[in-house]
Chains A and B, each alone.
Chain A
Amino acid sequence: MDKKHNFNLQYFLNDASFENWAKDLNKNDVSYWNNWIQNNPEHLETVENAKSIITGINFNQDYPSNSIVEEALSKVLNKINIDIPAPTKSKKVHSLNTVLLTTAAAVLLILIGYSSLTYFTNQSTTIHKTNYGEIIDLKLSDGTSVVLNGNSEISYDKENPRLLNLKGEAYFKVKSIPSTNAKFWVITNDLKVEVLGTQFHVNTRKQKTNVVLDEGSIHLEFKNGEVAKMIPGEMVSFSNESKKLLHKRVDVETPYALWRGGTYAFNEIPLKDVMTNLELTYGIEVQYSANELMKIPISGGIPNQNLKICIAAIEKATGTRIINKGNILRVQENPIY
């Protein structure tokens, strides 16, 4: 046992495995600390104190309801000089606040079918929406994993996460439920994807829907009633407007789902747009020493999980120097180039 430690309150409180023991969460941690206490009875009192700080007191929080908060918000908005978005936009504000849950008839939704799904009210709907440059990992209640790319939105009925609407871009790893053969649907403007258990990628940007299948098999049902089957490694592209259907084989490693590993893939995108992405993701501000710098094109993948690595990659790709001072990134010409 390491005797160099000062076994004070702080020592225990800063140890994640101790916290698990106190909350009785992880078998390994529980048996480790039970054992540790037996061997170090002199620290029992500190351990007890640390434990009670972690477990503390359970309060029933009595926070004001949503409607009270909304009312207060509108009062305050009246008092300040702020551009309130047009009605269509204010709906977005609502969904930005995520996860609106209530109870409703879930079963009905399946019967209604996808063409009318755009009309269902938000009352029973869960919405996940991302900003530009933001990526979120979601685990739906049925066990399906969804990675939602920036500026995208999925919505589904709280009771039925296996039927969801997608705007933007997402990667799905659908949990198969063999016992019930429960299917999974993704509905976009252009088509409906029907799935058992599988991994696939859907992109609805640019007025069309691209579906790339990584694993398993899926059926596509188009708005005109046509049906197509997909095999792994295939991409299907369909636009409801042009009614064009395109099948092609893709290298699954390529950018279709590159961002899900935490990489932004850019193809001849001006530096300014790339930096806007960063501004939104990290809440920073970007300044340029000269306007020409904004136009430098970037191609390739930029890791997005860590700002430092991200900046280094952009510097390399553009031949600039980027100085990070506080929350401001300053883009300059690199004297070496």
Chain B
Amino acid sequence: MELHSDETIWYFFKKGEANGFSLLFKKYYPQLYVYGLKLSNNRNLTEDCLQNFFVQLFEEREKQNEIKNLKAYLFVSFKRRLINQLQKNQKNIPVSEAQLFKSNFTFSPEEISIHQEIQFLCTSTLANLINKLSPRQKEVLYLKYYSGMKSTDIAEVMDMNYQSVLNVLQKALSKLRKASENQQIKNILKKN
């Protein structure tokens, strides 16, 4: 159960109270950390970047305009910071976002629950199939089902419109569903 709404937390955070800061930190550090790790595949970088992100967020709290959606705002600004850092690390070679995240957003079988609506696939097969999706599809799946974000918020984080978010979800999930149906057919054929 959640006792404190984002509005309350943000209010105390902006006031510069340690309580507000801890509440915000404890609520969002874990989520942002895993998101950053999925994006960058680099623990140290994610940790440093995230800690600096919170420091800057605090120092510039008074400059912040009204924030309508705290979660989407935090995800989007942390991602921007992480990209900047990754690009800096690439020295002088300019790299696109797509290239930076090309091999990332991988899921281990342990991260896939055995309880799935999509049946007939074991967790490692499902993890493999998800890992083969496009980076954008993986990121949307991650935000939606791992972070539990609303589709409208995902649109904000991914800089897409709402309809495109639904399209991406639909395409990714129908791929997984097809694989599940094929597996089902294979199972039936084996039995015969």
CB pair B19–A58 under 8 Å, yes or no, is no
Interface residues on A, range: 35 or more
Is the C-beta of B62 less than 8 angstroms from some C-beta in chain A?
no
- Interface residue from A62, A129, A134, A138 paired with B110 (Cβ < 8 Å): A62
CB pair B18–A77 under 8 Å, yes or no, is yes
Q: When each residue 143-168 of chain B gets 1 if its CB lies under 8 Å from chain A and 0 otherwise, what string results?
A: 01110000100000000001100100
Instruction: Please give, as numbers and ranges, the residues of chain A lying within 8 Å of B116 by CB-CB distance.
Output: 57-58
- Interface residue from A69, A83, A129, A282 paired with B18 (Cβ < 8 Å): A83
Is the C-beta of A181 less than 8 angstroms from some C-beta in chain B?
no
Interface residues on B, range: 35 or more
CB pair A52–B174 under 8 Å, yes or no, is yes
Q: Which residue of A lies closest to B148 (CB)?
A: A61
Q: When each residue 59-83 of chain A gets 1 if its CB lies under 8 Å from chain B and 0 otherwise, what string results?
A: 1111110000100110111011011
Q: Which residue of B lies closest to A279 (CB)?
A: B11
Is the C-beta of B99 less than 8 angstroms from some C-beta in chain A?
no
How many CB-defined contacts (below 8 Å) exist between A and B? 139
Q: Closest CB-CB distance, A15 to chain B, in whole Å?
A: 14
- Interface residue from A58, A76, A90 paired with B55 (Cβ < 8 Å): A76
Which one of A77, A130, A136, A279 has the greatest number of beta carbons of chain B within 10 Å? A77
Instruction: Please give, as numbers and ranges, the residues of chain B lying within 8 Å of A124 by CB-CB distance.
Output: none
- Report the separation of the CA atoms of residues A98 and B2 in the bound assembly, to the nearest whole angstrom: 8
CB pair B21–A129 under 8 Å, yes or no, is no
- Report the separation of the CA atoms of residues A83 and B22 in the bound assembly, to the nearest whole angstrom: 12
Beyond A85-B19, A97-B26, whether A49 also contacts B8 by CB under 8 A is: no
- Report the separation of the CA atoms of residues A194 and B137 in the bound assembly, to the nearest whole angstrom: 57
Is the C-beta of A28 less than 8 angstroms from some C-beta in chain B?
no
Beyond A59-B111, A60-B110, A69-B26, whether A283 also contacts B118 by CB under 8 A is: no
Instruction: Please give, as numbers and ranges, the residues of chain A lying within 8 Å of B118 by CB-CB distance.
Output: 52, 57
CB pair A73–B26 under 8 Å, yes or no, is yes
Which one of A92, A97, A129 has the greatest number of beta carbons of chain B within 10 Å? A97
CB pair B170–A64 under 8 Å, yes or no, is no
Is the C-beta of A96 less than 8 angstroms from some C-beta in chain B?
yes
CB pair A63–B30 under 8 Å, yes or no, is yes
